[in-house]
Amino acid sequence: MTILNATRSTSRLAKALTVILISVGFGSGANAEPFIFTAIPDQDETQLQQRFGKVATYLEKNLKVDVKYIPVKSYTSAVTAFRNNQVQLAWFGGLSGVQARRLVPDSNAIAQGIEDQFFKSYIIAHHSTHLKPQKTLSDKLANMTFTFGSKGSTSGRLMPEFYLREHFKQSPNELFKSVGFSGDHSRTIALVQSGAYQLGAVNYKVWDKGLADGKIDTSKVSIIWETPNYPDYQWTIRGDVDAKWGQGFSQKVKQALLDIKDPEILNAFPREGFVPASNSDYQPILDTAKSIGIID
C-alpha cells in the first residue's frame, strides 16, 4: 500500500469512528451536559455534602450520565435554581416543592421517603421554661420567645405555625414575645438548647438523628408537643428532562431513586427507603399554605 493510500484509509477510519461515536451519544452534546440536582439546606452544609455526594455517585452509575450535586444557601435559592433550570432535580420539603412546581409547568414529584408520607414536627423547649410534654398545646407558651427554622420550611415553619394559629387563634407575632427564623433545623435545636430562644419548631427526623448522634442535651432541651402527621419531603423533577437526556429519562431517575437500598445513603437522610410520589400528594400542603397566607 502506498503512503497516499494508507493516509486515505486512516482518514476514512477516523471518519467512521466519528460517526459511530456520534451515533452512541459521544461528542454530539446530547448527554454531554451534566444532570444537576440540589436540595433544601435544612441541616448544616457538611452533612448535606456527605449525603448528596453519595446520591450523585449512585445516580451517575445508574443513569449513565454525568450527575452533579450543587448546594444552595436557602430554601428560596433551591426553588429559584429549579425555576431557572440551573438544576433539573431537587430534594424539596413539602412547601418548597409545591412552590417550585407552581413555577415550572409539567414538573412532578416522583419519589418520597417512606416516612415522608407521615411526617411531623416537634415543638421543643428550653429547660428553664419548666414545660412538660403534653398532648395539646399549653397556654403557657404565650409571651415566650420562639424560633422557627427557615421561612420556607414545611416542618420548621408552615405546619407548626398552622397548628399554633389553629389553637391560639393568633398569629405567632401576636402570640409570642419575639419570633425568629434560625434558617435550619440543626440551628433551631442549638438555639433552644443554648437558651437563646425558649421555644422552637423542628423537623422530627433531624431531632431524632441528633439525639441518636449524641448532639442533643436533653437536660437542657426537650420535646413538649408534636404535630399531627402530614406529607413532607420529596424528589421533584422538571418536565423537560426527557427532551434533553432522552425519552423515558424522567422515569429512569424515578426508578433509580426508588431502588436506593444502600444503607449508607438511606441512613444519611435518614429514611428507610423511597416510595412513589405525585403532585396530588401535596395538595394538603398547598391548602395549608394558602390558609395562612404563605401562598396566594
User: Which of 226, 258, 278 is a domain's end point?
Assistant: 226
220 shares a domain with 125 = yes
262 shares a domain with 216 = no
Query: What integer pLDDT is reported at residue 15 of this predicted model?
Result: 46
CA distances from 237 to 49, 75, 101 (A): 20, 16, 9
C-alpha cell of 258?
426508588
Residue 87 lies in a domain: yes
- In the chain, the number of structural domains is 2
Model pTM score: 0.83
137 shares a domain with 71 = no
Residue 6 lies in a domain: no
Query: What integer pLDDT is reported at residue 4 of this predicted model?
Result: 40
211 shares a domain with 138 = yes
CATH code at position 190: 3.40.190.10
Query: What integer pLDDT is reported at residue 148 of this predicted model?
Result: 98
* Residue 54 CA from chain centroid, whole number: 15
Q: Give the residue numbers spanning the domain of 157.
A: 120-226
pLDDT 10s per residue in the chain (296 long)?
Answer: 444 444 444 445 444 434 333 333 333 334 578 999 999 998 778 888 989 999 999 999 999 999 999 999 999 999 999 999 999 999 999 999 999 999 999 999 999 999 999 999 999 999 999 999 999 999 999 999 999 999 999 999 999 999 999 999 999 999 999 999 999 999 999 999 999 999 999 999 999 999 999 999 999 999 999 999 999 999 999 999 999 999 999 999 999 999 999 999 999 889 999 999 999 999 999 999 999 999 98
Query: What integer pLDDT is reported at residue 180 of this predicted model?
Result: 97
> Rounded to an integer, what distance in angstroms lies between the CA atom of residue 112 and that of residue 105?
20
133 shares a domain with 111 = no
Residue 14 lies in a domain: no
C-alpha cell of 155?
416542618
Question: Counting every residue, how long is the chain?
Answer: 296
Quick one: angle between helices 94-103 and 75-83, nearest 10? 30
> Rounded to an integer, what distance in angstroms lies between the CA atom of residue 179 and that of residue 256?
41
* Peptide bond between residue 276 and the one before it cis (omega within 30 degrees of 0): no
139 shares a domain with 125 = yes
Lateral strand order in the sheet of 89-92: 67-69, 35-39, 89-92, 234-237, 108-113, 274-276
209 shares a domain with 133 = yes
Residue 24 lies in a domain: no
> Rounded to an integer, what distance in angstroms lies between the CA atom of residue 142 and that of residue 209?
29
Beta strands in the chain (DSSP E): 35-39, 67-69, 89-92, 108-113, 121-126, 145-148, 178-181, 199-203, 221-226, 234-237, 274-276
User: Secondary structure of the chain: what % helix, strand, coil (to 5)?
Assistant: 50, 20, 35
Report the SS3 class of residue 146: strand
> Rounded to an integer, what distance in angstroms lies between the CA atom of residue 215 and that of residue 206?
11
C-alpha cell of 116?
415522608
Q: 126-159 as b/e, with b when 16 or more CB fall inside 10 Å?
A: bbebebeeeeebbeebeebbbbbbbebbbbbbbb
Query: What integer pLDDT is reported at residue 31 of this predicted model?
Result: 54
User: Which of 226, 256, 273 is a domain's end point?
Assistant: 226
161 shares a domain with 194 = yes
